[in-house]
Structure 1
Amino acid sequence: MSRTTTFELGFRTVEREYTDRRLPVEGTLPAWLSGRLIRNGPGAFEIGDERVTHWFDGLAMLRSYTIADGAVRYTNRFLRTEARAHAARGSSSGEFATGAGPLRQAVRWLRALGPPTPTDNANVNVARIGDRYVAQTEAPRWIAFDPATLETRGEFRWRDGIPGNLTTAHTKRDPRTGETVGFGLRFGRRPQYLLYAVDADGRRRSIGSVPAAGPGYVHDFGLTRDYAVLVETPLRIDVWRALVPWGEGLLDMLQWDPDRGTRLLVVDRTTGELVADPVTDPLFTFHTVNAFQRDGDVVLDPVTFDDDTIVRSLTLSTLGTDGFDAAPDGRLERLRIDPEADTVVDRSRRYDGGLALPTVPRGVRTRPYRYAYAQATDREGANGLVKVDLDRSTATEWWGRGLYVEEPRMVQRPDGDAEDDGVVIAPALDADAGRSVLLVFDASTLSLLARAPLPHAVPFGFHGRFFATE
């Protein structure tokens, strides 16, 4: 199958929504595996008769894989949002790279007597907050949904008054305490990152705020037992362009300024104090694999790039010409920060192959760990799966001809003793078959245990979570 055809499959609008469709299973699923993998990502790429500009701008569609008793059932459903209604009328609500257009945006400013309401196209991730399930994006408008049917339940609203113009879609749950931590960005004369914590009942409290320089575009962060660590890369947001009506999307406001270096903001989770703020050589990162504390140091493991090329290589025009080959490969690095000395004491690479969309077993998040799982990216004509042993700096990889594996999720076996005792679940696009498939691997060996073909090809998505049956 040609690269163009593969591109079309992975970025083609889905026309049909399936409800509780039982999938054929080839192989055997572990008897203990029971729960629901819910993923988020774009499902449609048109605004009226026009294609969106960037992969990040497709209209949100949830997909659910319910696993129980050796069977898999599949549901997919678009979020019913204002952004989707705007798109049906041929107008954009203002996305990452696809703006509403200068004239239309100016009219929206005048009608709103200020900045218009941000998009509610929550297409990045999902989370459980208290007893509610929400679809998340980087705009501060998340959408609640029913986890069983994926039906939209309206906009999710915090009631605490914590402000913010942007927010992370990568909130992190501490497995020790059950607390979830996140952050937002507030523009203004003195931009700030605002950190918050959410308790098990879904109540949010402010941790504190720290000054933002630039401010930087910060997609994800690291969480340890005592600290939150923000990586403020030199990809800065031109706040002025963010505040004028003729700007397009967020992509149009980003500027790479390597002379600034990369700030590592270490924030105390209890007091909100900025305890360290060292600067290292310029890098860009979307995602942090994990973070923890060891011998008084803070250890952070991000997937890094030399610059911001990765952001601009994911426009649909570039992907249509070069596919994913135009995107640089991410590298797994380890940074050790000494908070007392306010310095990075070591920076080393832990995996030389390309990788993206990392995950670790739930039980080791915020703690010292050994294994990370990710999409492997440095082979033409496929995306694979990689398991990295960080103690030995070695890796096990799995590849399939014409298979484009998406973000993996590692699920540990209940009462298992080893860190890698469990399975890895990942959807993939089978380019030769012209449809998607759910893959389930043994987490220890990466041997394929089972596959469940879908009735259609699902566009390449972003992130998701596995919610075990309780």
Structure 2
Amino acid sequence: MEELFGKNKRECPEPIKADVQGQLPDWLQGLLIRNGPGMHTVGNSSYNHWFDGLALLHSFHFKNGEVFYRSRYLHSDTYTVNMQENRIVVSEFGTMAYPDPCKNIFSKAATFLANTIPEFTDNCLINIMKCGEDFYATSETNFIRRIDPSTLDTMEKLDYSKYVAVNLATSHPHYDSAGNIYNMGTSIAEKGKTKYMIIKIPSTIPEGGKKKSCFKYMEVVCSIPSRWLLNACYYHSFGMTDNYIIFIEQPFKLDLLKLATAYMRGVNWASCLEFHPEDKTLIYVLDRKTKKIIPGKFYTDALVTFHHVNAYEEDGHVIFDIIAYEDNSLYEMFYLANIKTSKDFEDKNKCKSKPTCRRFVIPLQHDKEAPVGANIVKLTSTTATALKEKDGNIYCVHETLTDGIELPRINYGYNGKKYRYIYAADVDWKPIPTKIMKFDIQTKQKLTWEEEHCWPAEPVFVAAPNGKEEDDGVLLSSVVSSDPKKSPFLLVLDAKTFKEVARASVKADIFLDLHGIFVSEADLPRNISKET
């Protein structure tokens, strides 16, 4: 287990040809780019948490039936100064470093905390974001790093806070039909007036615009005030339909006063997060046209969610699906001190709360005269309810679609629309996936792929050109093995039948990653070489 989690991975900056078994579709041309933690020790110092490791990018280039692999460490400011000092000197979420020789740890983000909100790392290790013809490595801070998708070279750093007042941002943005980006960030403002901000980044420079960067035209679509004075909820993603944005304010709270004093108290920032099961989970639905929150207080029981699956509209209702937990034990399992042998890890680190895929329904309009206790959901296609309470609040009760899955993906052409299929890692009670699953929401049928000693990554759906059905395409998953005699490989599954189409085995140090995207050959930037 330490071999897979705690060992530093060797980068492979020059492309190497994979051994392809099976027949790749002729139309599969482009790049699968993935991101995740690859370096967990620097000199004699070690990160405490697996999610803290230095970002390692890797890609699989599909070209004329062949596959080429490469990987490179993200040369962030964090990476550079750590390498120069030969030790960890920049703090990460689960690892506090002393001293931090980068910029002063105190920022001017919040005068009510005596200018003590820390400046965060630019170790962007979670996802890849496309903005026009540019690509960025992202995490959950206000920093992102532009990368060359072909060579994986690191380029300039961008700071969201220079354009909008956010200190944190999600690594799971959404894209509308024009390619514009929608994202969410937390703004820690003066006098404790913390807000969640929905931001829009145009995919192109507006006509007549004189500034060269799309980020200079970033706008705040809407802001939602935190219900707590000195706390902000943690969130990893959000939902979006054609007309609405869905935000869940869960009682998984970041204590801002503890955050500001963590360095002085000698604790990591993760210790400032705490789940409050006695609190409610609030649900906000924003009208993208009016930029206003729809009226009514919608809430459900306390939960923790990291990933939204999808959301859509139907007959005056907004329906959204999430992966939810009853507690926050998932994060705790990935402290490297807990990761020893495979047997120990699986036996001792099972989720206390099993992940469930839950469907919630929000009626956009309802009869104000409806009696107390009435279910104001008028759909017959779901068992999810929204119950009117005496004070006028609406208590939302979910429908459980399935359980034991994480890292959900869909055919993104159906994002914001009524859809049928979820592709995900089948984790059951364990944090490490051993299967990939296709779940049919309509029939509740499940198809799975698994192989002994294999751990597949998040499956990425790639739609077939001219495909007529939602599942016309393939799934791509980077697979590592706990068997040292077995080479890692890129798995290609037929998304409809879940039969293996091909695999591309690579003699390289492939690692367990987090998230990524597929970029078709036609969408690769024109100003960057497409040569392998």
Give the alignment's TM-score, normalised by structure 2. 0.82
Instruction: Identify which range, 252-261 or 105-114, moves more after superposition.
Output: 105-114
Task: Extract unaligned runs of 5+ from structure 1.
Answer: 1-5
One of 157, 164, 167 as aligned partner of 2:166:
164
Quote the residue 2:64 is aligned against. 69
Kept after mapping to 2: 8 A contact 1:351/1:394: no
The one-letter amino acid of 1:95's match is E
The one-letter amino acid of 1:199's match is P
CA gap of 1:412–1:104, structure 2 versus 1, over 3 A, is: closer
The one-letter amino acid of 2:35's match is N
Q: Secondary structure at the match of 2:3?
A: helix
Alignment of 1:52-451 (within 5 A): 52-88=47-83, 89=85, 90-101=87-98, 108-109=104-105, 114-157=116-159, 161-174=163-176, 176-188=177-189, 189-201=192-204, 202=214, 203-213=217-227, 214-244=231-261, 245-246=263-264, 248-275=267-294, 276-320=296-340, 322-323=344-345, 326-328=349-351, 329-341=354-366, 343-352=394-403, 354-378=404-428, 383-432=434-483, 433-451=485-503
The one-letter amino acid of 1:147's match is P
Q: Deviations over 1:79-135 (max 9, x none)?
A: 11111123222133221111124x659994479975453100000100111221100
Over the matched positions of the two proteins, sequence identity in percent amounts to 28
State the alpha-carbon separation in 2 of the partners of residues 23 and 296 from structure 1.
Answer: 50
When the two chains are superposed, the root-mean-square deviation of aligned CA atoms in Å is 2.3
One of 43, 52, 64 as aligned partner of 2:38:
43
User: Could you tell me how far 1:357 is from its partner in structure 2?
Assistant: 0.6
Q: Secondary structure at the match of 2:278?
A: helix
State the alpha-carbon separation in 1 of the partners of residues 501 and 459 from structure 2.
Answer: 14
State the alpha-carbon separation in 2 of the partners of residues 49 and 427 from structure 1.
Answer: 30
The one-letter amino acid of 1:79's match is L
CA gap of 1:252–1:345, structure 2 versus 1, over 3 A, is: closer
User: Could you tell me how far 1:158 is from its partner in structure 2?
Assistant: 5.0
Kept after mapping to 2: 8 A contact 1:160/1:205: no
Q: Does 1:25 align with 2:32?
A: no
Quote the residue 2:211 is aligned against. none
Kept after mapping to 1: 8 A contact 2:355/2:428: no
Q: Deviations over 1:380-422 (max 9, x none)?
A: 7961100010112221111111100111101110111010011
State the alpha-carbon separation in 1 of the partners of residues 201 and 81 from structure 2.
Answer: 32
Q: Secondary structure at the match of 1:40?
A: strand
CA gap of 1:182–1:108, structure 2 versus 1, over 3 A, is: same
Q: Secondary structure at the match of 1:25?
A: strand
State the alpha-carbon separation in 2 of the partners of residues 107 and 429 from structure 1.
Answer: 38
CA gap of 1:457–1:282, structure 2 versus 1, over 3 A, is: same
State the alpha-carbon separation in 2 of the partners of residues 270 and 348 from structure 1.
Answer: 29
The one-letter amino acid of 2:242's match is R
State the alpha-carbon separation in 2 of the partners of residues 393 and 136 from structure 1.
Answer: 34
Matched residue count? 462
The one-letter amino acid of 2:199's match is Y
Task: Extract unaligned runs of 5+ from structure 2.
Answer: 109-114, 205-213, 367-392, 523-532
Instruction: Identify which range, 238-247 or 380-389, moves more after superposition.
Output: 380-389
Kept after mapping to 1: 8 A contact 2:408/2:425: yes
The one-letter amino acid of 1:272's match is K
Kept after mapping to 2: 8 A contact 1:43/1:58: yes
Kept after mapping to 1: 8 A contact 2:200/2:220: yes
Kept after mapping to 2: 8 A contact 1:434/1:456: no
CA gap of 1:141–1:336, structure 2 versus 1, over 3 A, is: same
User: Could you tell me how far 1:15 is from its partner in structure 2?
Assistant: 2.4
State the alpha-carbon separation in 2 of the partners of residues 208 and 107 from structure 1.
Answer: 31
CA gap of 1:435–1:83, structure 2 versus 1, over 3 A, is: farther
Give the alignment's TM-score, normalised by structure 1. 0.93
One of 6, 12, 15 as aligned partner of 2:7:
12
State the alpha-carbon separation in 1 of the partners of residues 477 and 63 from structure 2.
Answer: 16
Q: Does 1:459 align with 2:462?
A: no
Instruction: Identify which range, 407-416 or 341-350, moves more after superposition.
Output: 341-350
CA gap of 1:249–1:267, structure 2 versus 1, over 3 A, is: farther
State the alpha-carbon separation in 1 of the partners of residues 440 and 116 from structure 2.
Answer: 51
State the alpha-carbon separation in 1 of the partners of residues 5 and 467 from structure 2.
Answer: 36
